[in-house]
Structure 1
Amino acid sequence: MKWIATILLILALLLLWRMMFMGYRGRALQQKKEFPRPLGSRDWKGLRDAVDGVYVSTTDAENALDRIAAHGLGTRSAVSMGFVAEGVGLLRQGARSFVIPTADIVGVGHGPGMVGKWMGREKGLVVLRWKLGERVVDTGIKPRHPAEGARFAEQVEELVRTKDQQKPTDGSGGAQ
């Protein structure tokens, strides 16, 4: 009689796991319609000033609990983040690598955590805020060494500052 209960429990757990998997997959398929696929780099060998760490996730900037599942952006992985010609490169192991174009970077900051990883320290994660299509998202990375993460964040801040200074200020946008 115990073995029947054990088999029923195992089947119930497998069914529950399957339902969770199908729900996440459905969410990713739905979000693929909302979010464009992030760019890839043409030259990952050119990744400079790389900082190793853990890619935590990408979430909607307005709703920190809304993980973006499309295009593998919700998949936790090891990462080397650095700079490539196109912008900030996230070279991931076991998940799709991508580039945040310089023009799409809104800002950078630090946080104690986000969906998928909570550090409890004020500056535990480096959080990149950027535009993915029409939406603003946050990508969290836990650097292996906090000092390297702080240095990287300063470099991104400088990149954003430089980008903002290069924008035309006459309102014409450079087009005629």
Structure 2
Amino acid sequence: MRWIAVALLVIALLVVWRMMFMGYRGRALRQKQEFPRPVGSKDWKRLRDAVEGTYVSTTDAENALDRIAAHGLGTRSAVALGFLDEGVGLLREGARSFVIPTADIVGVGHGPGMVGKWMGKEKGLLVLRWKLGERIVDTGVKPRHPEQGARFAEQVEELVRNHKNKNTGGAQ
């Protein structure tokens, strides 16, 4: 009788796990139609001022609990975050790497966490806000060394400021 109960429990757990997997996969497929695929780089050797850390996830900026699953953006991974001529590059280990074009970067900040990772410290997570198609999204990276994350955030702010000045002829 005990074996039957154990077998039923295992089957129930497998069914629940399968339903969760199918739900996440369905979300990714729906979002693929909504979101364009982020730009990739042809030469990751040009990545400058790289900061190593953990890519946490990308979420909708308006709804921090809405993880973007399309194009592998919901996959947690090790990351080297740095600058390329096109913008900010995220060279990910074991997941799809991508570039956030300079023109699409809205801003940068710090936070205590996001879906998938919560540090509890006020500035534990580096958060890039950018445009993905028609929506604004937040990408969270936990830098291995917080001081490098703070310096990187300052560089991104300068990059955005210079880009705006270049496109507006210096007027703000």
Q: Mind listing any 5+ residue stretches in structure 2 that lack a counterpart?
A: none
Deviation at 1:159, TM superposition (A): 0.2
Deviation at residue 142 of structure 1 after TM alignment: 0.1
Equivalent residue, structure 1, for 2:90 = 90
Question: Identity across aligned pairs (percent)?
Answer: 80
Q: Distance in 2 between matches of 1:168 and 1:109?
A: 24
- Tell me the amino acid that sits aligned with residue 96 of structure 2: R
Q: Deviations over 1:104-129 (max 9, x none)?
A: 00000000000000010010000000
* Mapped pair 1:9 → 2:16: no
Tell me the residue number matched to 1:48: 48
Contact 1:43–1:84 (CA under 8 A) maintained in structure 2: no
Give 1:167's aligned residue.
167
Q: Taking structure 2 as the reference length, what is the TM-score of the superposition?
A: 0.97
TM-score when scaled to structure 1? Answer: 0.95
SS in 2 for 1:63: coil
SS at match of 2:37: coil
The equivalent residue for 1:130 is 130
Task: Provide the alpha-carbon RMSD of the alignment.
Answer: 1.0
Q: Cα distance, 1:168 vs. partner?
A: 2.6
AA of the residue aligned to 2:10: I
Alignment of 1:96-135 (within 5 A): 96-135=96-135
DSSP-derived class of the 1:25 partner: helix
What is the deviation of 1:157? 0.5
Runs of 4+ in structure 1 off by over 4 angstroms are: none
Structure 1: distance between partners of 2:38 and 2:69 = 13
What is the total number of aligned residue pairs between the two structures?
Answer: 170
Question: Which residue of structure 2 lines up, in the alignment, with residue 173 of structure 1?
Answer: none
Aligned partner of 1:137: which letter? Answer: V
Q: Do the aligned partners of 1:105 and 1:128 also contact (CA within 8 Å) in 2?
A: yes
| One-letter amino acid of the structure 1 residue matched with residue 81 of structure 2 | M
Unaligned runs of 5+ in 1: 170-176
